[in-house]
């Protein structure tokens, strides 16, 4: 089956629509995201989504490439004014990431979240099922710390509820084990039922039923 990448903006909006149902009400994700483009300025967005002006922001390109933090393409804990200035500077600028060179035209804007702990979670399909990749050491250095990632295989005919997630849960505190199990199960349901081929959360955290 052919696979096609989608923007982080779109993935988060889809997740916000389905998360409460797929977690059976245990978790919620509000999906407060905005997409700035050459035709949609942050000023126009702020008129409809007032949090853009009232909360600290995270801003980054949303053009299906990674390692944005490593290339100075991540703005965090920014005011609206700082975000607008940064976007004015970066919009339509040319960057080179790896062997790819091109213009920046689409930017994801979302509320800034201070992470006490950065976790990594990804689901990746293979011929006979799916892998769950998890690390308690997520963030921009995940590739350098890949030896700390725990991998669990989910056979194609297996239900996630029946899979032993102990290898993953052993890397989180006892107080968090039940919540992380429920969260991973809910996100895996989302991944499979919406037929993703790959889905990554890096970094993420959770607190009081939100993540």
3-state secondary structure of 63: coil
Q: Report the distance separating Cα 24 and Cα 187, nearest Å.
A: 11
- In tens, the pLDDT along 151-179 reads 999 999 999 999 999 999 999 989 889 99
CATH topology of 34-111 equal to that of 116-204? no
- Between 32 and 65, the higher pLDDT residue: 32
Residue 141: the pLDDT is: 87
CATH number of this structure's domain 34-111, picked from the four choices 3.40.50.300, 3.30.1490.20, 3.40.50.200, 2.60.40.420? 3.30.1490.20
- Topology of domain 116-204, CATH: D-amino Acid Aminotransferase; Chain A, domain 1 (3.30.470)
Longest CA span, the chain: 51
- In tens, the pLDDT along 84-117 reads 999 999 999 999 888 888 999 999 999 998 888 8
pTM: 0.90
What are the structural domain ranges in the chain? 34-111, 116-204
Going by C-alpha positions, the residue among 63, 60, 61 that lies closest to residue 6 is: 63
Q: Residue 1: pLDDT band by 50, 70, 90 thresholds?
A: low
Q: Report the distance separating Cα 122 and Cα 133, nearest Å.
A: 5
Residue 210: the pLDDT is: 65
């Amino acid at each position: 089956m052919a696979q096609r990448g989608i923007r982080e903006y779109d993935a988060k909006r889809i997740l916000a629509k389905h998360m409460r149902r797929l977690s059976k009400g245990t978790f919620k994700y509000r999906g407060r995201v905005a997409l700035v483009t050459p035709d949609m300025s942050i000023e126009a967005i702020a008129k409809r989504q007032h949090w853009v002006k009232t909360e600290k922001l995270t801003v980054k390109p949303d053009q299906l490439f990674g390692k944005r933090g490593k290339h100075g393409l991540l703005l965090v804990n920014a005011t609206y004014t700082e975000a607008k200035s940064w976007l004015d500077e970066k919009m339509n600028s040319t960057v080179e990431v790896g062997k790819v060179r091109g213009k920046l035209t689409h930017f994801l804007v979302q509320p800034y979240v201070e992470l006490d702990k950065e976790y990594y979670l990804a689901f990746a399909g293979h011929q006979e099922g799916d892998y769950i990749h998890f690390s308690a050491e997520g963030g921009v250095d995940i590739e350098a710390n890949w030896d700390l990632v725990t991998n669990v295989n989910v056979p194609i005919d297996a239900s996630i509820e029946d899979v032993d997630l102990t290898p993953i849960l052993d890397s989180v505190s006892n107080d968090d084990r039940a919540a992380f199990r429920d969260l991973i199960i809910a996100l895996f349901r989302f991944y499979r039922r919406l037929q993703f081929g790959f889905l990554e959360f890096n970094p993420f955290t959770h607190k009081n039923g939100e993540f």
